[in-house]
Amino acid sequence: MTANATMTMSAVSERERGAGDGLNALFRPESIAVLGVTNTPGTVPHDIFRNLIDGRFQGVVYPVAPRKKHIAGVRAYDYVLDIPDPVDLAILVFPGAVCDKALAQCQEKSIKAAIIISAGFREIGPKGAKREERLREVASVGGMRLIGPNCLGVINTEPGVRLNASFARAMPDVGSIAFLSQSGALCTAVLDYAAGRGIGFSKFVSLGNKADVDEVDLLQYLAADPQTSVILMYLEDITRGRALMKAAREITASQENPKPILAIKGGRTAAGAAAAQSHTGALAASAEVCDGVFEQSGIIRCSSIEDMFNTAELLANQPLPKSDRVAIITNAGGPGVMATDAAIARGLQLAQFSEQTEAKLKRALPSTASLRNPVDLIGDAHADRYSAALEAILDDDGADQVLVILTPQSMTDISSVASTICGLKDRAAAAGKTLACSFMGARDVADGVRILQEHHVPHYILPEWAIDAMWHASWYRRWKEREISDIKSFDVDRETAAAILHSEPDGYLPEPQALDVLAAYGFPVVRHGLATSADEAVEFAEELGYPAVLRVVSPKIIHKFEVSGVILNLQDADQVRQAYGAMCDNVLRHISEEDLLGILVRPMIAAGKEMILGINRDRVFGHMLMVGLGGIYVEAFRDVTFRIVPIRESAAGKMIRELRTIRVLEGLRGEAPSDIPAVEDALKRLSQLAHDFPRIAELDINPLIVHPQGQGCHVADVRIRLDNNEIPAH
């Protein structure tokens, strides 16, 4: 690749480089230059250099500081080009305004990667954004990879590397958890929090402004990193949506080396698309979309830092749960009840013990103990009771996850109980059981907790947290084991749809054309005619059948009901004629005659359950497919699920089964079930339609009226908005 060609490379084509290219120089450099370092302790430019030395970096570090002889006892260089040896990684702590010059010298020195700690870029506005673009240009010349700018840095705890290229206070312990964060400051809090819990890390990366390396690159690198078994991310904005999903899916669902990915998405409640015209558009601006994307990628969505580390600890140290069946052992009734409440609320199941297990428990426990799940050992339990109960349950095939709860009674031998559990840890692992503990309290239980932590037995202050971690882990197991179906391709009349969708201007399609597009894709559209006179309306009604419906057609009218542009249930020709006249009179008070294209006439659709199907084109993820409870309840209940287009065959059913409405569709209290397969069929056709036509910006089928099983469904109303702008490239 010539320098010239590279200089004109677009950001997109840059991104086409292979997985983790050049990231080795970032994570495993043998030599590092720190540019802009000073001698003033307590400042970033000094601390970052000290951290490399204090962290016992296993390579060599060169301070670059014009007019300084040495920094913290290490010989300094005026310029990076003065360094006599090759350099793998540059760390820039220069002021933002001069970073590009420093980076150019790094490029000249053939340095393969750089971490730009400095702030003053995109985050401060257009001027900074320009600076950031300049950094990208300089780096791309030599194929240099960049982390930052505006970041905290990078940590790699690998014993042969020991890289603390950050201004975090201390190097974390070695562990198998990788953490990526778009918020640099959150990193310091997370490091400190994890230190308090005895949690170690493999890699730790502050992403900063993501001028070059982003979460997708890092996921690809971490996928192959033998040190990492669990990946944690805090993300705010996502720019390469599809690539993120693909990378995540390849990791979470890998046959050879699957790794769970946990994520928090900040900024979920941001307003913004309140102005969206369609229901789907309004709902697609919300947290539900993020849920859909994570669901489709196998990413575990966490609600807080605590939730994320609680889950990571279980996943990093315990086998994945083989089932949702949880056994609870406790020396205290109340916490057992609370754990049970939490488990049931999360959809986990309380394990039912075998007769043998109950017999074993009966032999080992006092008569006042509860032998059923949750097993109550009674407050005066010592380690022997814990041991007997845990052993019995580990042998029971009916329980695949075990939560051991301890409250510190005055006679409780807390450390012995902890040691007993640790002694049974390998047996639990051999039996494939997921084991977690909750020693409730703080001071009294501290020694016991330390023993558990030293043996990497997951521990939680509250039993509910253990249950939440088990719930996340159970979700991930189900996701990994899900059946992967094909993408259904229906035989459709694509030409007819294309003729309409490629010829109409941006904006809403008139209803007849929108219906024709759906009909071409095999949707259950009711026959209809567009009348421009009362006579014509009557003619259509006579031909198509009564009761008839009239619907105004005008590019100026989006919400027909608001202008009385819909009249239902017309029984005969007279009623049609009268309604036609009344509707024209009425709507012409809102629009001019030339904007009235006609009145659509069709037969009434028999009553049924009202669903909504929709498409919304997201700037980042592209087409999102939605299904949910329709009609007037759409926005009140937000009972909707989202997936990225195209969906696989099995996803259609899953989307519908995730709705609360599923109980209504399945038939409540003796009612006939609805034709769910017909809805699935429509969803899959909609996925294909959206995939075929990027121009579709929004589409609402609301309601889709669903009839009893075997009787199909019908499109009662559809709106399609076309827009050639902002079509994401994937």
The residue among 148 and 622 lying less far from a copy of itself, judged by its C-beta, is 148
Which 127-156 positions form the footprint of a copy of itself (CB under 8 A)? 152
Which 655-684 positions form the footprint of a copy of itself (CB under 8 A)? 660-664, 668-671
Which 211-250 positions form the footprint of a copy of itself (CB under 8 A)? 234, 236
263 binds a copy of itself (CB under 8 A): no
Residue 123: both structure tokens together? 């985050």
CB 139 within 8 A of CB 172: no
- Residue 474 CA to residue 456 CA, distance in Å, equals 20
Residue 155 CB, nearest approach to a copy of itself (Å): 13
Binding segment for a copy of itself (CB under 8 A), chosen from 26-34, 42-50, 545-553, 695-703, is 42-50
535 binds a copy of itself (CB under 8 A): no
The residue among 547 and 555 lying less far from a copy of itself, judged by its C-beta, is 547
**Can you tell me which of 20, 260, 298, 408 binds a copy of itself, judged by CB under 8 A?**
408
The residue among 3 and 411 lying less far from a copy of itself, judged by its C-beta, is 411
The residue among 112 and 472 lying less far from a copy of itself, judged by its C-beta, is 472
Query: In which residue are the tokens 């109303």 written?
Result: 717
639 binds a copy of itself (CB under 8 A): yes
Which 294-313 positions form the footprint of a copy of itself (CB under 8 A)? 303-306
Residue 176: both structure tokens together? 């198998």
72 binds a copy of itself (CB under 8 A): no
- Residue 253 CA to residue 256 CA, distance in Å, equals 9
What is the three-state SS of 455-498?
Answer: CCCCECCCHHHHHHHHHHHHHHHHHHCCCCCCCCCCCCCHHHHH
285 binds a copy of itself (CB under 8 A): no
185 binds a copy of itself (CB under 8 A): yes
The residue among 50 and 322 lying less far from a copy of itself, judged by its C-beta, is 50
Binding segment for a copy of itself (CB under 8 A), chosen from 105-113, 337-345, 354-362, 390-398, is 337-345
Residue 607 CB, nearest approach to a copy of itself (Å): 10
- Residue 708 CA to residue 720 CA, distance in Å, equals 27
Binding segment for a copy of itself (CB under 8 A), chosen from 186-194, 251-259, 396-404, 616-624, is 186-194
Residue 246: both structure tokens together? 């693909």
Residue 453 CB, nearest approach to a copy of itself (Å): 13
Radius of gyration of the chain (CA): 31
291 binds a copy of itself (CB under 8 A): no
275 binds a copy of itself (CB under 8 A): no
Binding segment for a copy of itself (CB under 8 A), chosen from 178-186, 489-497, 586-594, 640-648, is 178-186
Binding segment for a copy of itself (CB under 8 A), chosen from 31-39, 115-123, 288-296, 528-536, is 115-123
Alpha-helical runs (H) found in 298-368: 305-317, 333-345, 355-364
The residue among 98 and 305 lying less far from a copy of itself, judged by its C-beta, is 305
Residue 164 CB, nearest approach to a copy of itself (Å): 11
CA-based nearest residue to 292, from 680, 537, 623, 675: 623
**Can you tell me which of 182, 278, 286, 702 binds a copy of itself, judged by CB under 8 A?**
182
- Residue 283 CA to residue 358 CA, distance in Å, equals 50
| Identity of residue 470 | M
189 binds a copy of itself (CB under 8 A): yes
| Identity of residue 621 | F
- Residue 437 CA to residue 460 CA, distance in Å, equals 6
Q: Is 287 exposed, middle or buried (0-12, 13-18, 19+ CB in 10 A)?
A: middle
CA-based nearest residue to 329, from 379, 383, 375, 384: 375
Q: Output the DSSP codes for 254-308.
A: -SSS---EEEEES-TT---GGG-SSHHHHHHTSHHHHHHHHHHHTEEEPSSHHHH
119 binds a copy of itself (CB under 8 A): yes
- Residue 362 CA to residue 240 CA, distance in Å, equals 58
The residue among 56 and 527 lying less far from a copy of itself, judged by its C-beta, is 56
C-beta neighbour count of 225 within 10 angstroms: 20
Binding segment for a copy of itself (CB under 8 A), chosen from 58-66, 239-247, 332-340, 719-727, is 332-340
562 binds a copy of itself (CB under 8 A): yes
328 binds a copy of itself (CB under 8 A): no
Residue 197 CB, nearest approach to a copy of itself (Å): 7
Q: Is 373 helix (H, G, I), strand (E, B) or coil?
A: coil
Residue 500 CB, nearest approach to a copy of itself (Å): 27
**Helix orientation angle between 414-423 and 383-394, rounded to the nearest 10 degrees:** 20
Question: What would you measure as the largest C-alpha separation in the chain, in angstroms?
Answer: 100
